[in-house]
């Protein structure tokens, strides 16, 4: 395990004198930015950055997750490690995964208080002690998974290709299995794993795009981009429903349950948002590019900061709006904006990051008033303050 500590260098976008009077030195010092300033005036949503991370220039910073003590964990999939950001000191500490080049995937705070993640090339789940940073690999028991060593390094083989993991309403953790056309479930008491096949013919090639999140009621929802479908699975009955996107080749990527109880989807190639009514199966799409989309902002002289509004993962903010990053050429692109969508008015707004071509990656909505994300190209952590 390697630990490196450094102090972040936060920056503000379009800082104004009224904002400085309201937020004061707290924002500029970084650590104090986690707490609201007493008597502060309401400011327009804006992005604050922290970092860069110690490993650079590009460590693969993407998903972020909070532990129970409020520390932020940052997945670094290119470096095969995680960074822990301590809000009390404003420092990053890095921890390497047991397997080099493991390509850590999604993160989730488990019911047991540990940080759970996936090793895409390691064919394993990863359980991280948030206090010590120690990690335990739980190899996937399918597709010929085999633990071996070469040159003194731990290696694994197998075709599970788990990419994302999330808590289910049944008290278990659920994860994607792109290489097995399935989703998996791990019991928190026994760590026993079970897989449930999805009715799709497409497999390993979409493993790196697989996202799984809690769905409406007692379901999980997951994307199948190359199938142009979203699936839901009931955590009790294991019944599966498939939803085909109306736009062909739309590449559905982000999935979440919105404030209205519907399934909301980002369609990366179609540059749209989609709303799935779980009761009727009806799907409505909302273009981000077009006469009633972000193009109208361009015509009014407002740049969106991207050649095309390509949406990534999606979450619901504490203000009831849906938030998602905008990138060019997908989640490893050159975008520099976050975006919000109001489900009631269908109004879209965008927010620039201080770093140009920052490439916002996965996002986190667990703190009221903020949307947290990592910036892949800038190798920093971003915080969109929404109120």
Chain segment 22-53, per-residue pLDDT in tens: 333 333 233 333 333 344 455 789 999 999 99
| CATH at 326 | 2.130.10.10
Instruction: Determine the pLDDT at residue 106.
Output: 92
Measure the CA–CA gap between 239 and 223, rounded to whole angstroms: 16
Confidence at 333, pLDDT banded by 50, 70, 90: low
Residue at 115 is within a domain: yes
Rounded to two decimals, the pTM is 0.83
- Say if residues 123 and 102 touch (Cβ distance below 8 Å): no
| Residue 319 within any structural domain of the chain | yes
Q: Is residue 263 part of a domain?
A: yes
Q: Is the sign of the CA dihedral 372, 373, 375, 380 positive or negative?
A: positive
- Give percent of the chain above pLDDT 70: 76
Task: Determine, yes or no, domain membership for 106.
Answer: yes
Instruction: Kindly state the average pLDDT of the residues 357-379.
Output: 94
Domain range holding 319?
Answer: 46-385
Q: What's the structural domain count of the chain? A: 1
Range of weakest confidence among 115-119, 179-183, 187-191, 207-211: 207-211
In a domain, 177, yes or no: yes
Distance separating alpha carbons of residues 20 and 285, to the nearest angstrom: 40
Residue 37: per-residue pLDDT: 37
pLDDT tens track for 159-179: 788 999 999 999 999 999 988
27: helix, strand or coil: helix
Tokens of 166: 């999330």
Does residue 160 or residue 152 have the better pLDDT?
160
Can you give the pLDDT at residue 26? 33
Is the distance from CB of 123 to CB of 147 less than 8 angstroms?
A: no
CB 27 within 8 A of CB 48: yes
Residues 241 and 232: beta-carbon distance below 8 Å: yes
Residue 164 lies in a domain: yes
> What pLDDT was estimated at residue 180?
84
Question: Is residue 258 one of the residues assigned to a domain?
Answer: yes
Residue 9 maps to a domain: no
């Amino acid at each position: 395990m390697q630990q490196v500590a450094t102090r972040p260098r936060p920056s503000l976008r379009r800082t104004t004198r009224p904002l400085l009077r309201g937020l004061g030195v707290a924002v500029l010092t970084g650590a104090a930015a986690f707490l609201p300033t007493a008597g502060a005036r309401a400011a327009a949503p804006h992005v604050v950055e922290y970092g860069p991370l110690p490993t650079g220039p590009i460590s693969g910073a993407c998903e972020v997750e909070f532990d129970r003590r409020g520390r932020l964990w940052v997945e670094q999939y290119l470096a095969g490690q995680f960074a822990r950001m301590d809000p009390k000191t404003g420092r990053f500490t890095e921890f390497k995964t047991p397997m080099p080049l493991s390509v850590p995937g999604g993160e989730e705070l488990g019911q047991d208080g540990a940080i759970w993640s996936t090793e895409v090339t390691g064919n394993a789940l990863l359980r991280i002690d948030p206090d010590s940073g120690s990690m335990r690999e739980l190899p996937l028991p399918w597709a010929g998974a085999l633990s071996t060593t070469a040159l003194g390094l731990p290696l694994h083989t197998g075709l599970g290709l788990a990419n994302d993991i999330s808590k289910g309403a049944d008290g278990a953790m659920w994860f994607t299995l792109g290489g097995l056309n399935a989703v998996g479930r791990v019991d928190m008491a026994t760590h026993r794993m079970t897989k449930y096949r999805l009715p799709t013919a497409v497999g390993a090639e979409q493993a790196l795009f697989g996202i799984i999140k809690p769905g409406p009621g007692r379901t999980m929802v997951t994307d199948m981009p190359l199938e142009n479908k979203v699936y839901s699975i009931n955590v009790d009955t294991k019944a599966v429903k498939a939803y085909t996107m109306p736009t062909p080749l739309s590449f559905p990527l982000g999935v979440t349950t919105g404030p209205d109880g519907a399934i909301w989807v980002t369609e990366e190639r179609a540059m749209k948002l989609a709303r799935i009514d779980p009761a009727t199966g009806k799907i409505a799409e909302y273009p981000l590019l077009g006469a009633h989309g972000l193009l109208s902002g361009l015509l009014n002289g407002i740049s969106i900061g991207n050649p095309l509004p390509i949406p990534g993962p999606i979450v619901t903010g504490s203000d009831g709006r849906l938030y998602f990053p905008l990138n060019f050429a997908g989640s490893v692109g050159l975008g520099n904006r976050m975006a919000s969508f109001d489900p009631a008015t269908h109004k879209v707004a965008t927010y620039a990051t201080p770093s140009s071509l920052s490439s916002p990656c996965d996002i986190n909505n667990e703190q009221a008033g903020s949307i947290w994300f990592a910036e892949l190209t800038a190798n920093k952590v971003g915080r969109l303050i929404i109120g």
